[in-house]
Chain A
Amino acid sequence: MTQETETSDDQSTIDVNQRSQLQQFWKQYRKNKLSLAGGVLVVLLLITALFAPVIAPHSPYTQFDVPEDEQYHPLPPGSEITLTDRNGEVVKQSTAYFGTDNVGRDILSRALFGMRLTLMIGLSVIMFAMVIGAVAGGIAGYYYETWIDDSIMRFMDMLFPFPSLILAVALLGVVGIGETTYELAVVGEVVVPNVAKIVLVITIVYIPRFARVMRGAVLKEIEEDYVDAAKSIGASDSHILLRDISMNTIPPVIIQATLYIGTAVLISAGLSFLGLGIQPPEPSLGVMLAGARNYIHSGEWWFAAFPGLGIFLIILAFNLLGDGLRDALDPRYQGEQ
């Protein structure tokens, strides 16, 4: 009985603490206008991504008519575009505000769907890597300098000596590019889509990074008095790790996650640009840039400009947000960066 009351007492003080901490955090965060702008931009991008099918004027696959001589030519921004069916009748008429690509697809529509796909990949990568990495790093940190810590971190260290994009390329070499069907004894045929492979590969790149951040954060926490206090009243390891320590280590991990989204997006776009990620004709920003490469020397700038701008905006938004979150949470960084 006594122990129960003690725990609930403890809980209420934590709640009060958390609330005031949160208020303080919000106060700090609000002061930074750039970071506020980043937050707004992130929300706008997420809404755009979510409603891309509604916002986009056309399907990302529809090929409008393009002038044709020896090769197809992209239409510049503001061009009138028409869609003619086999009988030569005009089915659709519209304006391509951002121009078209070489086979007459609307750049704006493709870029919107591309941002949706890029954001989806970036967010899922960071979510998976954060959960797996934080659990592994949290356990390693809590059992600091035992065999558990050693084996987890040595395994993570094996993935560190590779530059991130190079590691992703190497891992893609293992899983192969494109959709693969695996024959499994129990479940039968399993089709693994290309997107899942890309998410898997980049997730593996980020797991060790999150494990290190989380381990460091846990190491800092277990030195605190409250852990000893919890142990002395007989709280179990898992209780301490899940309830008390995780409460305090989540903020630094979330901040790191926000900053990593930018780099994860860069890797996924880079892979697609190199022809190793999303495959055409899927509307991905990297794929669009790769297609545009053949046209930059003839002056069709819009083909490359808008998809790249999309990648840039996503990365900028999350960097602004992440910087602001870090400044607000860690006063030591106040005004720095």
Chain B
Amino acid sequence: MTTHMLKYLAKRLLLSIPTFIGVSIIIFMMVHLAPGGPVDVILGSQIATEEMVEQIRAEFNLDQPLYIQYIDWATSAIQGDLGESLTVTGGTQVSTLIMGRLPVTIELAIFSLLLAITIGIPAGIISAVYQDQIADHAMRITALTGISIPNFWLGIMLIVLFAVQLQQPWAAGGWVPLSDGIVDNLLHILFPIIALGTAISALIARMMRSEMLDTLNQDYIRTARAMGIGKWEIILKDAAKNAFIPVLTVIGFAIGGLMNGAVLTETVFSLPGIGTLLILAIDRRDYRVIQGIILFISFIFVFANIFVDVLYAYLDPRITSSRGDS
């Protein structure tokens, strides 16, 4: 990493501060804008007595001006204190709840992304090399189908086919911790990974194909071929490497898709991850857990995108001047 790169990284991190202020204001205001206001939201469907309302107003500093409430909330959140859960599990720290569920979601997301890259990149390369031939047509139709299949439906149909028709118990969903055996753990998460990774691998394949076509038409590739260097050697060593860099941006977008998909996939396969925790919290109207998870997810999302951008700039130094200064 050059100083130039470090400067770019610092700039991106600095620019993320206003983003986070904006994000946190939106998340903070969620509760205050909700119908009935914060007291109603906190009490949920309970029938409130005068005393309960007073107690909540005092406990949550609701008598303070809004900006003071926000500053209080934001300062604790920065320190990792997201408050205590209200109804999901009374009294547990929200951060503890999130951390407990995190390994499941991380395993699901990372393996899905790996699967998507492992399938998407070669598919894109083959499709570009055999442009307008049968392999290309097959890949393009498959990719379009993959993008259009709702991941939660794909998950359900995998369960129907494998768990019910073919009687494979591991296909039915549920979670086996890593400590109970790695094979069982991987078997149980296989279908969630396929359900979540399919659309992203299709996106990557399409992007890789179009970047490969661009690269293969460039002069230096033609020159190399004219010099008699083998076809696949050029494709894999030079063209694919250059084509992969722009594909990184798609992977940046894919992180958002992974998070959306994780909520749905975890629900289909009954995985105890962040997504199902969010749905549980909404169901029980535990607004602190909801706020905590959404804050956490947007935090990851922003940083993952910064990471991808910086990696992109590192691999393709031209970009810092055009992107970083805009």
Which chain A residues have a beta carbon within 8 Å of chain B's beta carbons?
A: 34, 154, 157-166, 169-170, 173-176, 180, 182, 262, 266-267, 269-270, 273-276, 289, 292-293, 296-299, 301, 304-305, 308, 311-312, 315-316, 319-320, 323, 333, 335-337
Say whether A166 contacts B263, CB under 8 Å: yes
Asked if A293 and B145 sit within 8 Å, CB to CB, the answer is no
Q: Are A274 and B144 within 8 A (Cβ)?
A: no
Docked pose: A34 CA to B140 CA in angstroms? 10
Contacts of B255 in A (CB 8 A): 163
Pick the contact of A312: B18, B148, B268 (CB < 8 A): B148
A167 to B216, CA, bound (A): 39
Q: Is the CB of B159 within 8 A of A162?
A: no
| A336 and B264 alpha carbons, distance in the complex (Å) | 31
- B289-306 contacts to A (CB < 8 Å): 290, 294, 297-298, 301-302
Kindly supply a per-residue 1/0 record for chain B positions 266-300, scoring 1 wherever the CB is within 8 Å of any chain A CB and 0 otherwise.
01100000000011001100010010001001100
**Which one of A162, A297, A311 contacts B301 once the chains associate, using CB atoms below 8 Å?**
A162
Give Cα A289 to B159, complex, Å.
13
With A311-B150, A315-B150, A319-B148 known to touch, is A166 a contact of B298 (CB < 8 Å)?
yes
Query: Which B residues are CB-close (under 8 A) to A289?
Result: 152-153, 156
User: Can you sample 21 A-B contacts with CB below 8 Å?
Assistant: A34-B141, A157-B22, A158-B19, A158-B23, A161-B22, A161-B23, A161-B301, A162-B301, A163-B301, A169-B278, A175-B34, A180-B35, A273-B267, A293-B268, A296-B156, A296-B159, A301-B165, A308-B153, A312-B148, A319-B148, A336-B213
Q: List B contacts of A182 (CB < 8 A).
A: 35
Cβ–Cβ contact B159 & A308, under 8 A: no
Most interface-central of B152, B163, B209 (chain A CB within 10 A): B152
Whether B209 pairs with A336 at a CB distance below 8 angstroms is yes
Give A126 to B252 CA distance when docked, in angstroms: 24
A162–B263 CB distance below 8 A: no
Q: Contact: B290 with A173, CB < 8 Å?
A: yes
List residues of chain B with CB within 8 A of the CB of A308. Answer: 150, 153, 156-157
**A175/B27 contact (C-beta < 8 A), A157-B22, A166-B297, A169-B282 known:** no
Query: Contact at B22–A176, with CB atoms within 8 Å?
Result: no
| Cβ–Cβ contact A166 & B164, under 8 A | no
Provide the bound-state CA to CA distance between A182 and B301, in Å: 35
Closest 3 A-B residue pairs measured CB to CB? A308-B153, A165-B260, A158-B22
- B15 and chain A: residue at smallest CB distance: A157
Q: Find chain B residues with CB under 8 A from A305 CB.
A: 157, 160
Cβ of A320 and Cβ of B264 under 8 Å apart? no
A297 near B164 with CB under 8 A, answer yes
Q: Which residues of B contact A161 (CB under 8 A)?
A: 19-20, 22-23, 298, 301-302
Instruction: From known contacts A157-B22, A273-B267, A304-B157, infer whether A170 and B27 are also in contact, taking CB-CB under 8 Å.
Output: yes
Taking A170-B26, A297-B172 as given, write out 13 further A-B residue pairs in contact, using a Cβ cutoff of 8 Å, ordered by the A residue number: A162-B294, A162-B301, A164-B256, A164-B260, A165-B260, A170-B30, A262-B147, A266-B150, A275-B283, A304-B156, A315-B150, A335-B131, A337-B206
Number of contacting residues on B, CB 8 A?
A: 57
Q: Which residues of A contact B104 (CB under 8 A)?
A: none
With a cutoff of 8 Å between Cβ atoms, the chain A residues found around residue B150 in the complex are 266, 269-270, 308, 311-312, 315
Contact A296 B164 (CB under 8 A): yes
Shortest C-beta distance, B307 to chain A (Å), equals: 14
A316 contacts B209, CB within 8 Å?
no
CA distance A157 to B20 in the complex (A): 11
User: A174 CA to B26 CA in the complex, in Å?
Assistant: 10
B257 within 8 A of A: yes
Asked if B34 and A162 sit within 8 Å, CB to CB, the answer is: no
Answer whether A163 and B260 are a contact pair too, CB < 8 Å, given A336-B210, A336-B213.
Answer: yes
Q: Verify if B132 is at the interface (C-beta below 8 Å from A).
A: yes
Find chain B residues with CB under 8 A from A315 CB: 147-150
| Residue B183 CB within 8 A of the other chain | no
Distance between Cα atoms of A154 and B23 in the complex (Å): 12
Instruction: Report chain B residues within 8 Å CB of A293.
Output: 156, 268
- Please indicate the chain A residues that have their CB under 8 angstroms from the CB of B33 in the complex: 174
CB distance from B268 to the nearest CB of A (A): 7
Q: Is the CB of A270 within 8 A of B152?
A: yes
Interface string of B226-262 (1 = CB under 8 A from A): 0000000000000000000000000000011101100
Using A157-B22, A289-B156 as known contacts, say yes or no to A270 and B30 having CB atoms under 8 A apart: no
Taken residue by residue from 33 to 76, chain B's Cβ proximity to chain A (1 for < 8 Å, 0 otherwise) reads as 11100000000000000000000000000000000000000000
- Cα of A319 to Cα of B317 in the assembled complex, Å: 34
Chain A residue with Cβ nearest B213:
A336
B287 cross-chain contacts in A, Cβ below 8 A: 173
Most A CB atoms within 10 A — which of B131, B149, B290?
B149
**Which A residues are in CB contact (< 8 Å) with B282?**
169, 173, 276
Given contacts A269-B150, A270-B152, A316-B145, contact A304 B160 (CB under 8 A): yes
Q: Which of A34, A274, A320 has the most CB of B within 10 A?
A: A274
Q: Within the complex, what minimum Cβ distance (angstroms) separates A31 from chain B?
A: 13
Please, how many angstroms separate the alpha-carbon atoms of A175 and B263 in the complex? 20
> Least Cβ distance of A233 to chain B in Å?
32
Chain A hits for B26, CB < 8 A: 158-159, 170
- Tell me whether A270 and B19 are in contact (CB under 8 A): no
Chain A residues in 8 Å Cβ range of B264: 165, 270, 273-274
For the complex, give the distance between the alpha carbons of A165 and B196 in Å.
Answer: 14
- Provide the bound-state CA to CA distance between A308 and B260, in Å: 18
For B209, give the chain A residue with the smallest CB separation.
A336
Taking CB as reference atom, which chain B residue is nearest A315? B148
Task: Identify which of A262, A276, A301 contacts B160 (C-beta below 8 A).
Answer: A301
What is the CA–CA distance of A175 and B33 in the complex, to the nearest angstrom? 8
Bound state CA distance, A153 and B26, in angstroms? 16
Docked complex Cα distance between A296 and B278 (Å): 23
> CA A308 – CA B255 in complex, angstroms?
24
Contact status B263-A274, CB under 8 Å: yes
Q: A161-B301, A169-B282, A315-B150 are in contact. Are A174 and B34 (CB under 8 A)?
A: yes
